[in-house]
Amino acid sequence: MNAVIERKNPGAGATTKPSAVSPERARQIEQACAQACRAIAPTWPLDRAIAVNPHWSRIGMPLRRVAARMAVLGGIQVFPPRELQRSTWQEGRISAADLALALQQLPAAPARGLSAAECVEALQSRAAIEQLPLLIDTLDQDPERHTRLAWRQAITHQVSQTCAAYFDRHQADWQPERTEGLYAFWRDTLQHDHGIGLLMGLPHLGRAIDALPAQAQDAEQWVMQRLGLSPTVWADYLEAVLLTVNGWASWCAYLAWQAGQEGRSDTHLRELLAIRLAWGALLLECKDDGAAQQAFQAVQQAWQRAPQVMQAAEQALLIDEVWQLALELGYQRTLAQKLLSASGQTPQTTGIEVQAAFCIDVRSEPLRRALEAVWPCIQTLGFAGFFGLPVAYTPLASTARRPQLPGLMAPTMEVQDRILPADADAGATASATELQSQAAHARQSRLGLSAQWQAASRWPGAAFSFVEAAGLGYLGKLGQWLKPGQQTRARDELAGLPARYRPICRPHLVGLDLPAKVALAARVLKAMGLTQDLAPLVLLVGHGSQSSNNAHAAALDCGACCGQTGDVNARSLAQLLNEAPVRAGLWQTQGMAIPESTVFLAALHNTTTDEIEGFELDLLPAAASARWQRLQTMFARACDQVRRERASSLQLDPCAPPAELLRQLRQRANDGAQTRPEWGLAGNAAFLIAPRHKSRGVVLNGRSFLHDYEASQDPDGSILELLMTAPMLVTHWINWQYHASTCDPQRLGSGNKLLHNVVGGSLGVFEGNGGDLRIGLTHQSVHDGQRAMHEPLRLTVVIDAPQAAIDTIIAKHAVLQQLLVNDWLHLWRFEEAGFARYRQGAWCPLPWGAQA
């Protein structure tokens, strides 16, 4: 439908009618809007928080070009700030040799004649980059603008508050009308908001609302037609518009991502774009013709130069790209030397009593190393923390269904809780069913009472009386924060379940017949490299964090489990692999023999306190139970070693007695005022896809993801292909979220967690009471108050596999080609005398070889 919108200027009293939009022009606007929306990466909700590269939708462009676009369109910093690089240079973290090598490896640097002295001098100032204006910026030029809110700030606040109300499903009891969509809800909200005009210095704003198009598409067409910009810059302009509300745009992109996985479409991001554009139409209605004409001219003149401005920014940021690479080369040199010191080791194959498969998470590396050091009879493995189970989990007596797999994937299997006593057998089915029913009823009753009690505090008329009546009830929780105790990690999935049922409430895979179970078990065991030489006890060790009063707690749990702890997956898989019919099926159909004496056991690594918790211990046979008990001494020694490694970074005494150090870490985990319960994945910098002997004994300082891989057991390269297209992308997302949150904590990080207010129960946070929805990591997650705790390095992936196998996989997957050709990560492979790196489709030796 063509948009014909009458415009009345309150200031001038004039009335104009824009010409109708032609079908061809409407098609061009549609394409530009769709392209701008595709540039926004999704962000996951707080309760399912996973790390995301905020530039994921832009990886089809070279990194420096993206950095230039973000600076020009949104004032966003992509490369590390120059003041940070200046510190690393002055401290010697970047050497002169690193800088010289970076200048040599970047083809654009010698082509421009860039020198080391020029790069060093540039550290004294910021890159001179022009940011292109939007219509609201050029309209906001009256002499009184210093006495009121800037229009960009006010509009962002108003749009953000509207989105918070619209998308909230869990926090407010009074829910808005959403049937007409986000744009219609915003338009209706604005018609009843009599304060925004006063804040913006526009007392006649209410009159202008009548000129608003009723349909989102009409609003897009009206503004783009009026702007008079060249169609060649439309998509860029619209992307800049979305970047002013990047947090909510990212949330809408998440809704579209989820809809796409379910075969649906979602229009919220387009409606958000229409809202933000429609604000321009509103402001035009409040300006006289002369001011509006000046604003149009300013925008048009600026955007006529957009290609030149982009090119100039890209040129200016070449120095920043050089320093980015120099920082990485300093780390890579040390990494190469460490790995070369271990590459000659002979793999251990005999005397193994326990095999322990850990998540590839960087926090597992110190614990694996410590366990191997204290007990040579243990073999540790690295595998993605969801353990190959693409599942969604539904707790007992609940309708909630949460994904337990990487955000790149959609669940295809279900896990549900079952009540299973240790003495249950084939003849106790009726008893188990009755217990299941009793437990479900008891939990539903408790949760129902809790919901009624909490609801009483949210009704406006009852709020103050509720606080008076229940105030004493909150003293217990407040007391725990004021004097933190030694409580163990809480299991939220068991909330409301009576204590007598908790030890026997166990997650199980459901809905799979025996052939499907056998196929799943075979696939996972092959991917883990556990098809032969199985130990008597095989541990599947997930991980989870422990913190109190922490809106971003899920960001410290397992990214491979969609921001959840890994115990559900580990327990479900252990139960599956312990089933006698599954083992028989593996032998009959796959020729895979699991010894009768081998027992699989799930465990969880608490990454805040570095303790290991076992599950289903009451189901263990006597021999396995005895072996688990003997393991406790090894766990105690290894975990204490890891705690001492971490102590200094948490400002604790690494020489404290073991019990005291553990007490302090448990206290931090239960402290409601603790802003840094642990450092999470800060410092992550490398991903090794290789046999353990390639890194065994090497101190990688908790900075490397480790995934075991044996090329000799993967003749067709299928396992390597899975690793390069799933875990490698997940680790890239993690790496870039930390990178972005460090380089631009204001726009790509979530700011100061002391000021956070949770939005919509789990949508995200505001910093303070408004502004845009904040995405990314908190300042406290990457900074200790004195210095950055994360070095913003691009991920270095090191693979031990034949070159031909790696090349074949890269050629099959466009996403890998984009990441590599456009310099979003580094790729190495092991060679006999050192390493080779992948660069622009070719392999070349690294300068750090065995002879170095």
Q: Give the residue from 228, 300, 280 showing the smallest Cα distance to 7.
A: 280
User: Residues 6 or more apart from 714 whose CB is under 8 A from it?
Assistant: 720, 801
Q: What is the structure's pLDDT at 276? A: 95
Query: Would you give the distance in Å from CA 521 to the centre of its chain?
Result: 28
Per the listing, tokens 């979003």 go with 824
Whether pLDDT at 767 is above 60: yes
Q: What is the structure's pLDDT at 343? A: 67
Q: What is the structure's pLDDT at 3? A: 39
Whether pLDDT at 17 is above 50: no
Tell me the C-alpha to C-alpha distance, in Å, between residue 173 and each of 169, 454, 457, 460, 734.
Answer: 9, 11, 10, 10, 35
- Region of 764 please: left (phi>0), alpha (psi -120 to 50) or beta: left
Q: What is the structure's pLDDT at 472? A: 52
Whether pLDDT at 257 is above 70: yes
Q: Are 612 and 380 in contact (CB under 8 A)?
A: no
User: Residues 6 or more apart from 186 whose CB is under 8 A from it?
Assistant: 159, 162, 166, 275
pLDDT tens, position by position, 589-637? 999 999 999 999 999 999 999 999 999 999 999 999 999 999 999 999 9
As given in the structure block, the two tokens for residue 321 are 């790209």
As given in the structure block, the two tokens for residue 143 are 């002499």
Whether pLDDT at 729 is above 90: yes
* CA pair distance 787, 690, nearest whole angstrom: 33
Q: What is the structure's pLDDT at 425? A: 55
In this prediction, residues 8-28 reach a mean pLDDT of 62
Least confident of 85-89, 439-443, 506-510, 564-568: 439-443
Tell me the C-alpha to C-alpha distance, in Å, between residue 245 and each of 71, 238, 257, 705, 766.
Answer: 15, 12, 18, 33, 12
Position with higher pLDDT, 467 vs 240: 240
Burial class (CB in 10 A: 0-12, 13-18, 19+), 712: exposed
- DSSP 8-state code for residue 80: P
* CA pair distance 658, 349, nearest whole angstrom: 33
Per the listing, tokens 């502004």 go with 771
In this prediction, residues 4-14 reach a mean pLDDT of 40
Q: Give the residue from 593, 480, 608, 623 showing the smallest Cα distance to 532.
A: 593
- The answer to whether the Cα torsion of 458, 463, 466, 471 is positive or negative is positive
- Confidence grade of residue 463 (pLDDT, cut at 50, 70, 90): very low
DSSP 488-505: ----GGGTT--TTTGGGE
Q: What is the structure's pLDDT at 156? A: 93
Q: Give the residue from 350, 761, 418 showing the smallest Cα distance to 568.
A: 418
pLDDT tens, position by position, 324-340? 999 999 999 999 999 99
Tell me the C-alpha to C-alpha distance, in Å, between residue 204 and each of 11, 207, 275, 620, 724.
Answer: 9, 6, 19, 75, 58
Q: What is the structure's pLDDT at 160? A: 95
The size of the chain, in residues, is 852
Q: Give the residue from 39, 35, 37, 107 showing the smallest Cα distance to 69.
A: 39
User: Residues 6 or more apart from 211 whose CB is under 8 A from it?
Assistant: 5, 6, 7, 8, 281, 282, 285
Least confident of 111-115, 421-425, 711-715: 421-425
Q: How many CA atoms lie within 13 A of 302 on its CB side?
A: 19
pLDDT tens, position by position, 669-686? 999 999 999 999 999 999
Q: What is the structure's pLDDT at 462? A: 45
Q: Are 743 and 327 in contact (CB under 8 A)?
A: no
Helices (H), 648-726: 658-669, 718-725
pLDDT tens, position by position, 780-807? 999 999 999 999 999 999 999 999 999 9
Least confident of 18-22, 41-45, 318-322, 544-548: 18-22
Q: Specify the 3-state DSSP secondary structure of 170.
A: coil
* CA pair distance 526, 570, nearest whole angstrom: 16
Cα-Cα-Cα-Cα torsion 195, 197, 199, 202, nearest 10 degrees, comes to -150
Whether pLDDT at 471 is above 60: no
Whether pLDDT at 7 is above 80: no
Least confident of 140-154, 252-266, 700-714: 140-154
Least confident of 16-30, 334-348, 550-564, 619-633: 16-30
Least confident of 150-159, 284-293, 444-453, 813-822: 444-453
Q: What is the structure's pLDDT at 117? A: 97
Q: Specify the 3-state DSSP secondary structure of 601.
A: strand
Q: What is the structure's pLDDT at 424? A: 63
Helix axes 718-725, 514-528, angle to 10 degrees: 80
* CA pair distance 242, 229, nearest whole angstrom: 17
Q: How many CA atoms lie within 13 A of 630 on its CB side?
A: 12
In the chain, the percentage of residues whose pLDDT exceeds 90 is 74
User: Residues 6 or more apart from 770 whose CB is under 8 A from it?
Assistant: 157, 160, 161
Mean pLDDT, the chain, as a whole number?
A: 90
